[in-house]
Amino acid sequence: EAAVTQSPRNKVAVTGGKVTLSCNQTNNHNNMYWYRQDTGHGLRLIHYSYGAGSTEKGDIPDGYKASRPSQENFSLILELATPSQTSVYFCASGNYEQYFGPGTRLTVL
Amino acid sequence: QQQVRQSPQSLTVWEGETAILNCSYEDSTFDYFPWYHQFPGESPALLIAIRPVSNKKEDGRFTIFFNKREKKFSLHIADSQPGDSATYFCAAKNNNNAPRFGAGTKLSVKP
Protein backbone atom coordinates (compact mmCIF):
# COMPACT_ATOMS: atom_id res chain seq x y z
CA GLU A 1 0.00 0.00 0.00
CA ALA A 2 1.21 3.48 -0.88
CA ALA A 3 2.66 5.48 1.96
CA VAL A 4 2.42 9.25 1.89
CA THR A 5 3.67 11.24 4.83
CA GLN A 6 3.46 14.95 5.51
CA SER A 7 5.29 17.27 7.86
CA PRO A 8 4.57 19.15 9.93
CA ARG A 9 1.15 17.86 10.92
CA ASN A 10 0.26 21.15 12.55
CA LYS A 11 1.74 24.58 11.99
CA VAL A 12 1.04 28.04 13.33
CA ALA A 13 2.61 30.81 11.29
CA VAL A 14 2.59 34.59 11.38
CA THR A 15 1.34 36.77 8.57
CA GLY A 16 4.18 37.55 6.18
CA GLY A 17 6.26 34.61 7.28
CA LYS A 18 7.53 31.81 5.06
CA VAL A 19 6.00 28.36 5.44
CA THR A 20 7.19 25.12 3.86
CA LEU A 21 5.01 22.03 3.88
CA SER A 22 6.74 18.78 3.04
CA CYS A 23 5.46 15.57 1.53
CA ASN A 24 7.20 12.25 1.04
CA GLN A 25 5.94 9.16 -0.78
CA THR A 26 7.55 5.73 -0.87
CA ASN A 27 5.56 4.12 -3.67
CA ASN A 28 7.55 5.49 -6.59
CA HIS A 29 4.59 7.35 -8.09
CA ASN A 30 5.41 9.84 -10.80
CA ASN A 31 2.50 12.15 -10.02
CA MET A 32 2.13 14.12 -6.82
CA TYR A 33 -0.43 16.75 -5.83
CA TRP A 34 -1.11 19.45 -3.26
CA TYR A 35 -4.69 20.25 -2.25
CA ARG A 36 -6.25 22.47 0.33
CA GLN A 37 -9.52 21.62 1.98
CA ASP A 38 -11.89 24.20 3.36
CA THR A 39 -15.46 23.75 4.49
CA GLY A 40 -17.79 24.16 1.54
CA HIS A 41 -15.03 23.96 -1.07
CA GLY A 42 -14.05 20.33 -1.05
CA LEU A 43 -10.54 19.60 -2.32
CA ARG A 44 -8.96 22.34 -4.37
CA LEU A 45 -5.83 21.65 -6.40
CA ILE A 46 -2.93 24.03 -5.78
CA HIS A 47 0.06 22.52 -7.61
CA TYR A 48 1.00 19.15 -8.99
CA SER A 49 3.98 17.39 -10.48
CA TYR A 50 4.62 14.69 -13.07
CA GLY A 51 8.06 13.83 -11.77
CA ALA A 52 11.28 15.16 -10.34
CA GLY A 53 11.99 18.67 -11.51
CA SER A 54 8.46 19.34 -12.79
CA THR A 55 5.72 21.44 -11.24
CA GLU A 56 2.40 22.50 -12.71
CA LYS A 57 -0.14 25.05 -11.56
CA GLY A 58 -3.46 23.77 -10.37
CA ASP A 59 -6.69 25.68 -9.94
CA ILE A 60 -5.62 28.00 -7.10
CA PRO A 61 -1.82 28.51 -7.37
CA ASP A 62 -1.67 32.18 -6.37
CA GLY A 63 0.40 32.68 -3.22
CA TYR A 64 1.95 29.22 -3.42
CA LYS A 65 5.06 27.74 -4.96
CA ALA A 66 5.95 24.08 -5.32
CA SER A 67 9.18 22.16 -5.55
CA ARG A 68 9.81 18.55 -6.62
CA PRO A 69 13.49 17.87 -6.01
CA SER A 70 13.14 14.09 -6.23
CA GLN A 71 10.67 11.34 -7.04
CA GLU A 72 9.87 10.97 -3.34
CA ASN A 73 9.56 14.59 -2.19
CA PHE A 74 7.17 17.37 -3.08
CA SER A 75 7.06 20.62 -1.12
CA LEU A 76 4.55 23.44 -0.97
CA ILE A 77 5.98 26.85 -0.16
CA LEU A 78 4.13 29.90 1.08
CA GLU A 79 6.61 32.75 0.68
CA LEU A 80 4.42 35.35 2.41
CA ALA A 81 1.74 33.60 4.41
CA THR A 82 -1.63 35.30 4.81
CA PRO A 83 -4.60 34.47 7.10
CA SER A 84 -6.60 33.40 4.01
CA GLN A 85 -4.17 30.49 3.66
CA THR A 86 -5.34 29.02 6.94
CA SER A 87 -6.57 25.59 5.92
CA VAL A 88 -5.91 21.87 5.93
CA TYR A 89 -3.43 20.86 3.25
CA PHE A 90 -3.29 17.38 1.76
CA CYS A 91 -0.56 15.90 -0.33
CA ALA A 92 -1.39 12.98 -2.60
CA SER A 93 0.43 10.70 -5.00
CA GLY A 94 -0.67 8.36 -7.76
CA ASN A 95 -1.63 8.45 -11.40
CA TYR A 96 -5.28 7.48 -11.35
CA GLU A 97 -6.00 6.46 -7.78
CA GLN A 98 -4.99 9.14 -5.31
CA TYR A 99 -3.18 8.13 -2.12
CA PHE A 100 -3.51 10.93 0.39
CA GLY A 101 -1.21 11.89 3.21
CA PRO A 102 -2.58 12.58 6.70
CA GLY A 103 -2.83 16.32 6.15
CA THR A 104 -1.25 19.43 7.64
CA ARG A 105 -3.39 21.88 9.58
CA LEU A 106 -1.97 25.36 8.97
CA THR A 107 -3.07 28.41 10.92
CA VAL A 108 -1.79 31.81 9.85
CA LEU A 109 -2.24 34.49 12.50
CA GLN B 1 -14.17 26.13 -13.76
CA GLN B 2 -16.11 23.39 -12.03
CA GLN B 3 -15.79 20.34 -14.23
CA VAL B 4 -17.34 17.90 -11.76
CA ARG B 5 -20.60 18.79 -10.04
CA GLN B 6 -21.78 16.84 -7.02
CA SER B 7 -25.13 16.73 -5.26
CA PRO B 8 -26.60 16.88 -2.75
CA GLN B 9 -24.31 18.88 -0.50
CA SER B 10 -25.64 16.98 2.49
CA LEU B 11 -27.81 13.91 2.88
CA THR B 12 -29.44 12.25 5.86
CA VAL B 13 -30.85 8.74 5.69
CA TRP B 14 -32.06 6.19 8.23
CA GLU B 15 -30.12 3.06 8.97
CA GLY B 16 -31.02 0.40 6.43
CA GLU B 17 -32.01 2.82 3.68
CA THR B 18 -30.16 3.31 0.38
CA ALA B 19 -28.20 6.55 0.10
CA ILE B 20 -27.78 7.96 -3.40
CA LEU B 21 -25.06 10.48 -4.20
CA ASN B 22 -24.82 12.07 -7.63
CA CYS B 23 -22.13 13.53 -9.86
CA SER B 24 -21.94 14.92 -13.37
CA TYR B 25 -18.98 15.93 -15.50
CA GLU B 26 -18.25 17.93 -18.62
CA ASP B 27 -15.03 16.62 -20.15
CA SER B 28 -15.70 13.62 -22.37
CA THR B 29 -12.03 12.59 -22.21
CA PHE B 30 -12.35 11.57 -18.55
CA ASP B 31 -11.83 7.82 -18.28
CA TYR B 32 -11.67 7.11 -14.56
CA PHE B 33 -14.42 7.90 -12.08
CA PRO B 34 -13.63 7.21 -8.41
CA TRP B 35 -15.49 7.85 -5.21
CA TYR B 36 -13.53 8.71 -2.06
CA HIS B 37 -14.78 8.81 1.49
CA GLN B 38 -13.42 10.92 4.31
CA PHE B 39 -14.17 10.41 7.97
CA PRO B 40 -13.82 13.34 10.39
CA GLY B 41 -10.20 14.10 11.16
CA GLU B 42 -8.91 11.72 8.50
CA SER B 43 -7.72 12.03 4.93
CA PRO B 44 -9.76 10.96 1.89
CA ALA B 45 -9.43 7.35 0.83
CA LEU B 46 -10.56 5.51 -2.29
CA LEU B 47 -13.85 3.68 -1.84
CA ILE B 48 -14.71 2.43 -5.32
CA ALA B 49 -14.00 3.43 -8.91
CA ILE B 50 -15.30 2.73 -12.42
CA ARG B 51 -14.02 3.06 -15.96
CA PRO B 52 -16.47 3.93 -18.77
CA VAL B 53 -16.24 0.51 -20.36
CA SER B 54 -18.75 -0.53 -17.70
CA ASN B 55 -22.00 1.09 -16.59
CA LYS B 56 -22.04 -0.53 -13.17
CA LYS B 57 -19.47 -1.45 -10.54
CA GLU B 58 -20.31 -3.20 -7.29
CA ASP B 59 -18.29 -3.72 -4.14
CA GLY B 60 -20.37 -5.08 -1.32
CA ARG B 61 -22.98 -2.50 -0.35
CA PHE B 62 -21.44 0.14 -2.63
CA THR B 63 -22.43 0.45 -6.29
CA ILE B 64 -21.48 2.98 -8.94
CA PHE B 65 -23.95 3.54 -11.77
CA PHE B 66 -22.42 5.23 -14.81
CA ASN B 67 -24.23 6.91 -17.71
CA LYS B 68 -21.75 7.91 -20.39
CA ARG B 69 -24.33 9.52 -22.68
CA GLU B 70 -25.58 11.84 -19.97
CA LYS B 71 -22.13 12.26 -18.38
CA LYS B 72 -23.45 11.29 -14.98
CA PHE B 73 -22.48 8.78 -12.34
CA SER B 74 -23.84 7.98 -8.93
CA LEU B 75 -22.89 6.11 -5.78
CA HIS B 76 -25.53 3.95 -4.14
CA ILE B 77 -24.93 2.81 -0.59
CA ALA B 78 -27.32 -0.01 0.22
CA ASP B 79 -28.38 -0.89 3.76
CA SER B 80 -26.73 2.28 5.08
CA GLN B 81 -25.06 1.98 8.48
CA PRO B 82 -24.17 4.70 10.99
CA GLY B 83 -20.53 3.86 10.32
CA ASP B 84 -21.02 5.03 6.73
CA SER B 85 -21.46 8.59 8.00
CA ALA B 86 -18.71 10.55 6.27
CA THR B 87 -18.06 13.01 3.49
CA TYR B 88 -18.01 11.46 0.04
CA PHE B 89 -16.19 12.97 -2.93
CA CYS B 90 -16.62 11.97 -6.53
CA ALA B 91 -13.84 12.66 -9.00
CA ALA B 92 -13.00 12.30 -12.66
CA LYS B 93 -9.67 11.94 -14.41
CA ASN B 94 -7.98 11.26 -17.71
CA ASN B 95 -4.39 10.24 -18.29
CA ASN B 96 -3.15 13.72 -19.16
CA ASN B 97 -4.41 15.91 -16.36
CA ALA B 98 -4.87 16.13 -12.64
CA PRO B 99 -8.10 14.71 -11.19
CA ARG B 100 -11.13 16.94 -10.81
CA PHE B 101 -13.03 16.57 -7.55
CA GLY B 102 -16.63 17.31 -6.73
CA ALA B 103 -17.37 19.54 -3.76
CA GLY B 104 -18.42 16.62 -1.55
CA THR B 105 -21.57 15.20 0.03
CA LYS B 106 -21.80 14.97 3.80
CA LEU B 107 -23.74 11.80 4.57
CA SER B 108 -25.35 11.21 7.95
CA VAL B 109 -26.91 7.85 8.71
CA LYS B 110 -29.29 7.93 11.67
CA PRO B 111 -29.74 4.77 13.72
CATH architecture designation of domain A4-108: Sandwich (2.60)
Enumerate the domain spans of chain B: 4-110
Please answer yes or no on whether B98 and A102 come within 8 Å at the CB atom: no
What percentage of chain A reaches a pLDDT higher than 90? 93
Q: What spatial distance separates the first Cα and last Cα of chain A, rounded to whole Å?
A: 37
Tens of pLDDT, residues A18-47: 999 999 999 899 999 999 999 877 899 999
What is d(CA A43, CA A47) in angstroms, rounded to the nearest whole number? 12
CA distance B97 to B29: 10
The structural domains of chain A, with segments of one domain joined by +, span 4-108
Of A96, A100, A102, the CB nearest to B32: A96
> How would you write the pLDDT of chain B (111 residues) with one tens digit per residue?
568 999 999 999 999 999 999 999 999 999 999 999 999 999 999 999 999 999 999 999 999 999 999 999 999 999 999 999 999 999 999 988 899 999 999 999 999
Minimal Cα–Cα distance from A23 to chain B, Å? 14
Q: CB-side exposure of B57: number of CA atoms within 13 Å?
A: 18
According to CATH, the superfamily of the domain at B4-110 is: Immunoglobulins (2.60.40.10)
Looking from the CA of B52 toward its CB, the CA atoms found within 13 Å total 16
In Å, how far are A65, A92, B26, B40, B107 from A97, measured between CA atoms?
24, 10, 20, 21, 22
